[in-house]
Chains A and B, each alone.
Chain A
Amino acid sequence: MKQSGTSALLQGAVQDLASGVASALRGGGHPSREPLDAPLRPTGDLDLAAARVLGADLLLPGVLDHTPPPGARELDLARRAFDAYPPPATAAPTVAWSHWALGRALHRVTGPSGTAPAPGRVPEPGPEPDASWLTGAPWPSLTHHLAVLAPLALPVEDCALTRVARGRTLDVARGFVRAVRRRDWYQAAGAGRWLTVLPDVPHTLGLPGGLDFVELMGGGDSRVLLQVRAARLIGSGVTV
C-alpha cells in the first residue's frame, strides 16, 4: 500500500507538470508563469522525480518555435532532475534514452542559440544510447517503447532512435490503430506524435481525426493532452 500511495503522489505531480506544459503549448504562457529572474520556490524530491518522469517534454515549449519559453521553475527542475537521476549502467534502454533526451532538450533550450540561454554550465547530453534493441522489435513493442519516448518525436531530430522510427512508419501506424482500439490513450497519443514526424504516413490512417478522438476519450489525462497538442503543433509545421 505504501508503494501505491507514493506512486499516486508521483503520478499526481507528473500530471501537474504535464498540465502546465499542455497549457503552454496552447499559448497559455510558460508553464509556471514565473519570470526567469524570479526567486525559485523550494523543490523537493517529489518535484524532481516528477520532472525526471515527464522528461524532455518539460522543456517542450522552449524547444518548439512559436511557443513560450520555459519558466525558471521548469529550467531549474529539468537541470536538477538531469543531474539527480543519471541512468545506471544496467538501466533499461528507455530509461537511458529518456535521460539523454532530457539532456538534449536542456542543451537546446539553454545553449547559446536556445530560447533561455543560461550563463555557466550547460548540461551535455552525452553519447547516444544504443538503439539496436528496437530495430527488430515487433510492431506492438516498437509502438509501446516509442510512445514512452515520445519526447524525442520532434521535427529535424536526428538520433539513432529517430532513424529506427523513420524506417518503420507503417508499423507505428499499425501500433497507433492498435492503441486506439485498446483504449491505451497515452500510447495512442505518443504514437500519433511520432507519426507527425515520420515519412509516408498513409492518408487512410485518418491521423487528424484519430488524434481528435484520442483527446476526446483520453484528454482528461494531462500527459495524453500534452502529446496530442504536441502532435498537432508539429503536424501543423512548427519547427524547433
Chain B
Amino acid sequence: MASAEKTVEEVRIRDVDLEAVLDPAEADGVYRDSRECAALAVVSGGGSALLSPPTPRPKKG
C-alpha cells in the first residue's frame, strides 16, 4: 500500500510547475503588532534601525 501511495506521489509531482517554485513571487507582507515590536526591542537591545517607526499603512477610503 505504501508503495502504491509513493507511486501516486511521484506521478503527481510531475504536475508541479517547478519553475514557479524556483522563481516565486514575493510573499504578501503582514505587519507586526505591538507585542512583536516589544519582542524585537528585547532581542535587538534597542537603538537599531529595526526599531524605527513602522512603515505607514495605506489609509482606507
Contact = CB atoms under 8 A, between A and B. Distances in A.
A144 B25 CA distance: 8
Interface string A91-134: 11011001000000000000000000000000000000000000
Interface string A167-194: 0000001000110111110110000000
Nearest to B45: A209
A213 B41 CA distance: 9
Q: Is the interface of A mostly helix, strand, loop or mixed?
A: helix
Contacts of B44: 206, 209-210, 212-213
Interface string B40-61: 1001110111111011000000
Interface string B1-16: 0000010011011111
Contacts of A44: 6, 9-10, 13
A210 B55 contact: no
A140 B25 CA distance: 12
The range of chain B's interface size is: 35 or more
A5 B12 CA distance: 9
Interface residues of A, number: 44
Interface string A1-45: 011011101100000000000000000000000000000000011
21 contacts: A2-B15, A5-B12, A9-B12, A10-B16, A46-B13, A49-B13, A53-B18, A53-B22, A92-B19, A92-B22, A94-B23, A140-B26, A177-B49, A181-B54, A204-B47, A205-B50, A206-B48, A209-B45, A210-B44, A213-B39, A213-B40
Interface of A: 2-3, 5-7, 9-10, 44-46, 49, 52-53, 85, 88, 91-92, 94-95, 98, 140-141, 144, 148, 173, 177-178, 180-184, 186-187, 202, 204-206, 209-210, 212-213, 216-217
